[in-house]
Structure 1
Amino acid sequence: MIDVDFSERIGAARSTFADIRAVVDVDRLQSEIAALSEQASAPDLWDDTSHAQKVTSDLSHRQTELERIEALQQRLDDLDVLIEMAKEADDEDAAAECAAELTAIEKTLGEMEVRTLLDGEYDARPAVVTIRAGAGGVDAADFADMLLRMYLRWAEQHDYSTTVMDISYAEEAGIKSATFEVDAPHAFGTLSVEAGTHRLVRMSPFGAAGKRQTSFAAVEVIPLLEESAAIEVPETDIRVDVFRSSGPGGQSVNTTDSAVRITHLPTGLVVSMQNEKSQIQNRAAAMRVLQSRLLILQKEQEAATKKELAGTITASWGDQMRSYVLAPYQMVKDLRTEYEVNNPSAVFDGDLDGFIAAGIKWRKRAPVE
């Protein structure tokens, strides 16, 4: 008789699932979906484009959240049936299938449980991520490009919507900087633990053969705030420059001056946008990101905790939060949580969930200064 007694593990899984349902508050979620669905079906919804986009985005996020809960409930129920069928058939392959599905369910539960820790003021908002090459010359620019691909692959694996807002290409290889938006439930809360200085150690493909190179890149993560929450910015406080969008190697990809760079004169903050086709759209997008950064800066100053949200990141020796080592051995290690893996290729292909989960738990345990 085959052994398919998973009762203890299934009991623990159902208990964890019940806790998650309670935190998510499924009844409230269903009520919010019903209210938003009613708003979304209003015939005059698109008379106000910004309001319509907010309604449809909020509805999509809540529907996704509910679908995740309902799908996991169905998988737990189906697992009970699979186990009974395996017992009746006394089938080892069926028992192995049950064990694999239970392991997969436990992994999903772990990810969802981590999400319940995201209760910060801005955690539910979309995220705007900026990556900047730091010390290390061409290798640093290439490393920044690797990080951009890593985060976009991670988002793609989770079916999260991303928009690359701006890229500044380096002359020889890689990028000087890039800014992209992740529009997904709790995107900021999830990605905010990625903010900091990232360090790469490898045999440089750009330098002398056989020589190791250390390079750095900075990752900044801010929440994209609702327009009603943003700071008013007087026109006299900004300088707006327009230019042509460009591609790798400085080649022109746009024949009109549609890209926009806004400089906030009092603080020196600079935001560039070249994703949209029109100058007006790029300016509006840049202003929204600038307003979000200014509000975060204001709250940091009020709380006297400059590293709480976006942080001050120098992208050089002494303040790195994660190391990616490709030579003389293979390892990626987060220096805050001690979480590490020995497969950098998988990490650069978007396998970040372990690091993000460890970071969220670490932040929750960290004492408030």
Structure 2
Amino acid sequence: MAETDFPTELRSLRSTLTRITDVTDVDKLRDEVAELSERAAAPDLWDDQANAQKITSQLSHKQSELERLTKLAGRIDDVELMVEMAHEEGDQEVLSDAAQEIESIRKALASLEIVTLLAGEYDERDAVVTIRSGAGGVDAADFAEMLLRMYTRWAERRDWTVKVLDTSYAEEAGLKSATFEIKAPYAFGTLSVEAGTHRLVRISPFDNQGRRQTSFAAVEVIPLIEGTDSIDIDENDLKIDVYRSSGPGGQSVNTTDSAVRITHLPTGTVVSMQNEKSQIQNRAAAMRVLESRLLLLKQQEEAAEKKEMAGDIKASWGDQIRSYVLHPYQMVKDLRTEHEVGNTSAVLDGDLDGFIDAGIRWRAQSLLEN
């Protein structure tokens, strides 16, 4: 095992922390915590529950961010003192512990550094994710359900709130589509790199001849709309259908026509909701997702106009972003970043941080180059 160059490692940690604190603007962060704390202490805070939840959530996130930065600075000071004492006493065991602590601090800094790369207009928002099965028949529907489980497990590992808004089950197995909401600071910015086409290669469990099957699923990620966003929707542009919710195999989930499908006629955007208890709740949830999709569409149109004005710039995002190969070998590989993992079970069980971090860094570098 190579001997750790402690002075170099400690300088590197301090340099990384300084870079993160400069980007984060710690003084501004402290001011925001103070302001939010004052608003959270207002006696009439819970008169408006939605606003109260928003304020307390923002306060919790910013306090946590400030605390992480402060603790990391303290940990670097502590490990530096640990190294000095271990050298004076010639204690190799303590030096070994210090090397492990340095590695732990480096990983924590890398995680914080990723957040500093999320500077898009809507990156701080909650995310609405839709998964749709593509080519590949029943295997594609099963793959869509596998992806839903993968993202749910990933969010749960972070203690992020996941709420399934709509599920459309396939006839034999799996899902035609599923839409879910992830509530957490920077959920959209973090998950936006997952948008695109995902490919699965495996021996099909639905093929009685045991043949290899390739199937596809599409992942869409949009930021959740907020009350301050300016999206005007003309009621005359909407077609609203109500129908009875259903579960796997057509089993009735509701005895009333509570499910809602809203079509935005000018753009052809369709949103369906059935997982809330009432038609009113499903309509409200559908409108929120419709507004979010139209907001993102507006942003994409503006970006396309800017790109056209700037000239012919090579597109940085392809449709197919990742392959999950379960046969004849085991490998999950991102086609943009070249990040790959041989433990496919771990990835499909929610171990996605390596892929997402690599994707965020790749996107930031691509934007820099363009």
Structure 1 and Structure 2 fold alike (TM over 0.5): yes
Aligned to 1:169: 169
Alpha-carbon distance between aligned partners in 1 of 2:60 and 2:114, rounded to the nearest angstrom: 21
TM-aligned CA deviation for residue 93 of structure 1: 4.5
TM-aligned CA deviation for residue 90 of structure 1: 5.1
- Amino acid in the other structure paired with 1:29: L
TM-aligned CA deviation for residue 212 of structure 1: 0.6
Aligned to 2:265: 265
Change (3 A) 1:346 1:91: farther
- Amino acid in the other structure paired with 2:197: T
Alpha-carbon distance between aligned partners in 2 of 1:255 and 1:72, rounded to the nearest angstrom: 55
Is the contact between residue 230 and residue 291 of structure 1 (CA under 8 Å) also seen in structure 2? Answer: no
Alpha-carbon distance between aligned partners in 2 of 1:159 and 1:232, rounded to the nearest angstrom: 34
Alpha-carbon distance between aligned partners in 2 of 1:137 and 1:306, rounded to the nearest angstrom: 39
How does 1:1-369 map onto structure 2 within 5 Å?
6-83=6-83, 86-87=86-87, 92-304=92-304, 319-366=319-366
- Amino acid in the other structure paired with 1:226: E
TM-aligned CA deviation for residue 275 of structure 1: 3.4
Worse-superposed segment, 205-214 or 96-105:
96-105
Change (3 A) 1:207 1:85: farther
TM-aligned CA deviation for residue 91 of structure 1: 5.1
The unaligned stretches of length 5 or more in structure 2 are 308-317
TM-aligned CA deviation for residue 100 of structure 1: 2.2
Alpha-carbon distance between aligned partners in 2 of 1:94 and 1:249, rounded to the nearest angstrom: 61
Alpha-carbon distance between aligned partners in 2 of 1:68 and 1:149, rounded to the nearest angstrom: 29
Is the contact between residue 200 and residue 214 of structure 1 (CA under 8 Å) also seen in structure 2? Answer: yes
TM-aligned CA deviation for residue 123 of structure 1: 1.1
Count of residues in correspondence between the two structures? 358
Alpha-carbon distance between aligned partners in 2 of 1:88 and 1:249, rounded to the nearest angstrom: 71
Change (3 A) 1:203 1:91: farther
Is the contact between residue 300 and residue 306 of structure 1 (CA under 8 Å) also seen in structure 2? Answer: no
- Amino acid in the other structure paired with 2:269: L
TM-score, length-scaled by structure 2: 0.89
Alpha-carbon distance between aligned partners in 1 of 2:4 and 2:91, rounded to the nearest angstrom: 10
TM-aligned CA deviation for residue 298 of structure 1: 1.9
Matched position secondary structure for 2:280: helix
Matched position secondary structure for 1:185: coil
Change (3 A) 1:293 1:87: same
TM-aligned CA deviation for residue 219 of structure 1: 0.5
Alpha-carbon distance between aligned partners in 1 of 2:64 and 2:166, rounded to the nearest angstrom: 28
Matched position secondary structure for 2:124: coil
Alpha-carbon distance between aligned partners in 2 of 1:362 and 1:222, rounded to the nearest angstrom: 19
Alpha-carbon distance between aligned partners in 2 of 1:205 and 1:107, rounded to the nearest angstrom: 39
Alpha-carbon distance between aligned partners in 2 of 1:85 and 1:258, rounded to the nearest angstrom: 68
Alpha-carbon distance between aligned partners in 2 of 1:113 and 1:134, rounded to the nearest angstrom: 35
TM-aligned CA deviation for residue 77 of structure 1: 3.4
Is the contact between residue 257 and residue 279 of structure 1 (CA under 8 Å) also seen in structure 2? Answer: yes
- Amino acid in the other structure paired with 2:192: S
Identity %: 67
- Amino acid in the other structure paired with 2:266: P
Is the contact between residue 273 and residue 283 of structure 1 (CA under 8 Å) also seen in structure 2? Answer: yes
Alpha-carbon distance between aligned partners in 2 of 1:54 and 1:256, rounded to the nearest angstrom: 33
Report the aligned-residue RMSD.
2.5
Matched position secondary structure for 2:333: strand
Alpha-carbon distance between aligned partners in 1 of 2:71 and 2:280, rounded to the nearest angstrom: 42
Is the contact between residue 271 and residue 289 of structure 1 (CA under 8 Å) also seen in structure 2? Answer: yes
The unaligned stretches of length 5 or more in structure 1 are 308-317
Aligned to 1:314: none
Worse-superposed segment, 107-116 or 320-329:
107-116
Change (3 A) 1:21 1:210: same
Change (3 A) 1:291 1:9: same
TM-aligned CA deviation for residue 192 of structure 1: 0.8
Aligned to 1:315: none
Alpha-carbon distance between aligned partners in 1 of 2:201 and 2:88, rounded to the nearest angstrom: 55
- Amino acid in the other structure paired with 1:245: S
Aligned to 2:313: none
Change (3 A) 1:186 1:150: same
TM-aligned CA deviation for residue 92 of structure 1: 4.8
Change (3 A) 1:68 1:249: farther
Alpha-carbon distance between aligned partners in 1 of 2:268 and 2:113, rounded to the nearest angstrom: 40
TM-aligned CA deviation for residue 178 of structure 1: 1.0
- Amino acid in the other structure paired with 2:267: T
Alpha-carbon distance between aligned partners in 2 of 1:277 and 1:90, rounded to the nearest angstrom: 67
Change (3 A) 1:53 1:88: same
TM-aligned CA deviation for residue 364 of structure 1: 1.7
TM-aligned CA deviation for residue 95 of structure 1: 3.6
Matched position secondary structure for 2:228: helix
Change (3 A) 1:354 1:231: same
Per-residue CA deviations over 1:123-165 (Å, capped at 9, x if unaligned) read 1111111111100011111111111111111111122222211
Alpha-carbon distance between aligned partners in 2 of 1:229 and 1:34, rounded to the nearest angstrom: 25
